[in-house]
Structure 1
Amino acid sequence: MKSSVLAVAAAVLLSGPVLADDHDWEFRLGVTAHDLSDHVEDGPNITVGLVGPEIEAFSLIWTPRPYLYGSFNTNSLTNFGGAGLEWDFPLSENISFQPAFGLSYNDGVRDIDRNAPPNDPNRIRLATTRSLMGEHILFHTTFALNLEVSENVTVAAYYEHISHGQILGSGRNQALDNAGIRFGYRWGGGRY
Structure 2
Amino acid sequence: MRIGTVLGLSLLVASVVGASGALAADSKRQSPIASPSNAQPSLLSEFRIGFSAQDPWGPEGKDGSANLTGEILFAKPFTASDLFTSYFIPRPHIGGSANFDGRTSFAYAGLTWTFDLTPNLFVEGSLGGAIHNGDKNAFNASPHHQSLGCSPLFRESGSVGVRLSANWSVMATIEHLSNAGACAENRGLTNVGARVGYTF
Range of TM-score over shorter length: 0.7 to 0.9
Q: Post-superposition shift, 1:112?
A: 3.3
User: Where does the alignment leave 5 or more consecutive residues of structure 2 unmatched?
Assistant: 1-39
Structure having the larger proportion of residues in helix: 1
Of residues 30, 55, 60, the one that matches 1:35 is 55
Distance 2:46 2:71 in 1: 8
Task: Give the CA deviation at 1:40.
Answer: 3.2
Tell me, in whole angstroms, the C-alpha distance in 2 between the residues paired with 1:61 and 1:152.
Answer: 19
Aligned equivalents of 1:49 and 1:135: distance in 2?
23
For the aligned residues, what is the CA RMSD?
2.2
Which residue identity is paired with 1:151?
A
Shift of 1:156: 0.4
Provide the residue aligned with 1:149 in structure 2: 164
One-letter code aligned to 2:114 = D
CA offsets, 1:48-87, max 9 Å, x none? 1100112227969811000001000000110001000000
Please name the residue that 1:47 is paired with: 69
1:22 is displaced (CA, Å) by 6.7
Counterpart residue number, 2:152: 137
Paired residues, number: 155
Deviation string for 1:77-103 (max 9, x for gaps)?
100010000001111111111100001
Residues in 2 aligned to 1:90 and 1:49: alpha-carbon distance in whole angstroms: 20
| Distance in 2 of aligned mates of 1:99 and 1:35 | 19
Checking the alignment, whether the CA contact within 8 Å between 2:108 and 2:130 is kept in structure 1 is yes
Which segments of 5 or more consecutive residues in structure 1 lack a partner in the other structure? 1-19, 114-122, 188-192
Residues 88-103 of structure 1 aligned to structure 2 (within 5 Å): 88-103=114-129
- Secondary structure of the residue aligned to 1:87 is strand
Provide TM-score, normalisation by structure 2.
Answer: 0.71
Shift of 1:171: 2.0
| Paired-residue identity, % | 27
Structure 2 matches for 1:1-192, cutoff 5 A?
21=41, 25-41=45-61, 42-56=64-78, 62-113=88-139, 123=140, 126-166=141-181, 169-187=182-200
Offset at 1:23? 8.6
Structure 1 length as normaliser, TM-score? Answer: 0.74
Say if 1:45 and 1:109 are closer, same or farther in 2 by CA, change over 3 A: same
